[in-house]
Structure 1
Amino acid sequence: MVNSDEFSNRLKEIFDYYDLSASSFADKIDVGRASISHILSGRNKPSLDFVMKVVSTFEEVELYWLLNGKGSFPPTGRKDDDEMGNKTEYKSESKEKITEKLASIDKEINKSSSTAKRINKVIIFYSDGSFESYENYPKN
């Protein structure tokens, strides 16, 4: 049987690791926000469906660790680690710098392409679910 207090603590570890609030976590795994509140308070125990949604949404969360606390979280090697085991750092860049880089890429594509293809649109998706769209650059 799952210990509610320990399970709640493991959920909080997941929140911290992915930098999520309880409500954003609920939205991400597609459950009601009240369900998270009830599990965290110990009022309800997690259902199998709830546990499976957590494990399938967050690939780094191991089922055995989530249920029993045995194993490790976060895992030692992350998917975004490079081949040498170093974490990949993503730097926030200004729109101007991104636009300049995209224009440079567009020029390189035009040089190497016999059909003179042009980039029409670039969309950048962020881990928090937001995105930015860049269209029709460079504007000539």
Structure 2
Amino acid sequence: MINTEAFTKRLQQVIDYYGESASSFAEKIGVQRSSISHILSGRNKPSLEFVLKILSTFPEVELYWLLNGKGEFPATKKTIVQNTIPFTSSEAPPPSPIIEKEIASEITQDKTIERIVIFYSDGSFKNFQN
């Protein structure tokens, strides 16, 4: 269970960070203005769908920070050094030679890697941005 009052403060922080009004924020994430108003006033608790809409619209918002204040906002971008494999975690599979060759052939002085997204079989994903 999340602390609704603390969630409301973090939601207001997100709205302020992007320089939005409650109305424009609601429009951007695709919910009714009354939904934002009711959550900010403490009348309603946020639904999972509401939280997911925020996360998909504003990538700098981290799930754990939004729900329980753990982590940071805005999320810091992961730095990827060009011509190196950006994974150091033991959970990341080794890249296939075909993918390494394709990535190496794509990296030129005119092109740099902007973002890498890894999709897992359970439907989750990891986003690495430069």
Q: How does 1:1-140 map to 2 (within 5 A)?
A: 1-77=1-77
Alpha-carbon distance in structure 2 between the residues aligned to 1:52 and 1:69: 16
State the Cα deviation string for residues 26-73 of structure 1 (Å, max 9, x = none). 000000000000000111000000000000110110111111110000
Gaps of 5+ in 1: 80-140
Alpha-carbon distance in structure 2 between the residues aligned to 1:51 and 1:76: 20
TM-score, with length taken from structure 2: 0.58
Structure of greater relative contact order (alpha carbons < 8 Å, 6+ residues apart) = 2
C-alpha spacing 1:78/1:24, structure 2 compared with 1 (3 Å): farther
How many residue pairs get aligned? The number is 80
TM superposition shift of 1:78: 8.8
Alpha-carbon distance in structure 2 between the residues aligned to 1:26 and 1:60: 17
Find the residue that maps to 1:60 and give its secondary structure: coil
Alpha-carbon distance in structure 2 between the residues aligned to 1:24 and 1:6: 22
Alpha-carbon distance in structure 1 between the residues aligned to 2:76 and 2:47: 28
Larger Rg: 1
> Percent sequence identity over matched residues?
67
Alpha-carbon distance in structure 2 between the residues aligned to 1:78 and 1:30: 28
Gaps of 5+ in 2: 80-130
TM superposition shift of 1:76: 3.5
Cα RMSD, aligned residues only: 1.9
